[in-house]
């Protein structure tokens, strides 16, 4: 059965059907995304390894997304952002879905700080990508490329 957890996934409205096809089933809940009127939030309550392989496939198709998944038996919660070109995963998150920065007796772990800064930059570009999608019937396209 794998190591299952939940996944919250924001994608452009025009890509919801493609996400369902790729995942092999529809999300349990579909809501408006808090980030853009051109995006939907899909919620899956039981998905293997936080949907990591499904997110890999979404990125390969060039579908922008923001993802937040819970922890499993062998991994921490995580957030991911993909703007259509660049992808970043912040593996460990707080309960509010923010990237965690490790601090030891020697100070801040620079790798996790750099990862958090990069995550927020890609997240901002992903929201811009959502806003640049126009929905035409059941199709989606980037503005100016219809």
Question: Does residue 7 contact residue 67 with C-beta atoms inside 8 Å?
Answer: yes
- Give the span between the Cα atoms of 100 and 46, in whole angstroms: 24
Q: Look up the pTM and report it.
A: 0.84
Classified as helix, coil or strand, 43 is strand
Average pLDDT for 89-96: 76
Classified as helix, coil or strand, 48 is strand
Q: Among residues 9, 12, 8, which one has the least CA distance to residue 84? A: 12
Angle at Cα 126 formed by Cα 120 and Cα 127, nearest 5°?
95
Who's near 121: CB < 8 A, 6+ residues apart? none
The pLDDT assigned to 137 comes to: 40
Domain boundaries, the chain: 4-142
The pLDDT assigned to 51 comes to: 85
- Give the span between the Cα atoms of 22 and 8, in whole angstroms: 16
The pLDDT assigned to 134 comes to: 57
User: What would the pLDDT profile of 2-55 be if each residue is shown by its tens digit?
Assistant: 677 899 999 999 999 999 999 998 999 999 999 999 999 999 998 887 888 999
- Give the span between the Cα atoms of 119 and 104, in whole angstroms: 22
pLDDT above 70 coverage of the chain, percent:
89
Residue 130 has pLDDT above 90, yes or no: yes
- Give the span between the Cα atoms of 12 and 118, in whole angstroms: 22
The pLDDT assigned to 112 comes to: 85
Compute CA distances 140 → 51, 70, 131, whole Å.
23, 29, 12
Average pLDDT for 118-122: 94
Residue 111 has pLDDT above 90, yes or no: no
């Amino acid at each position: 059965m794998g190591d299952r957890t939940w996944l919250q996934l924001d994608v452009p409205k025009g890509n919801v059907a493609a996400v369902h096809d790729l995942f092999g089933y529809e999300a349990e809940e579909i809501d408006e995304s808090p980030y853009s009127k051109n995006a939907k939030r899909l919620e899956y309550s039981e998905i293997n390894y936080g949907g990591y392989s499904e997110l890999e496939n979404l990125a390969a198709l060039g579908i922008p997304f923001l993802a937040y998944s819970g922890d499993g038996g062998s991994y921490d919660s995580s957030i991911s952002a993909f703007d259509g070109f660049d992808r970043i995963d912040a593996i460990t998150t707080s309960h509010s879905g923010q990237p965690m920065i490790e601090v030891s007796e020697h100070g801040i772990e620079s790798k996790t700080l750099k990862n958090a800064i990069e995550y927020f930059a890609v997240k901002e570009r992903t929201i811009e990508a959502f806003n640049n999608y126009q929905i035409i019937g059941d199709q989606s396209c980037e503005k100016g490329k219809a």
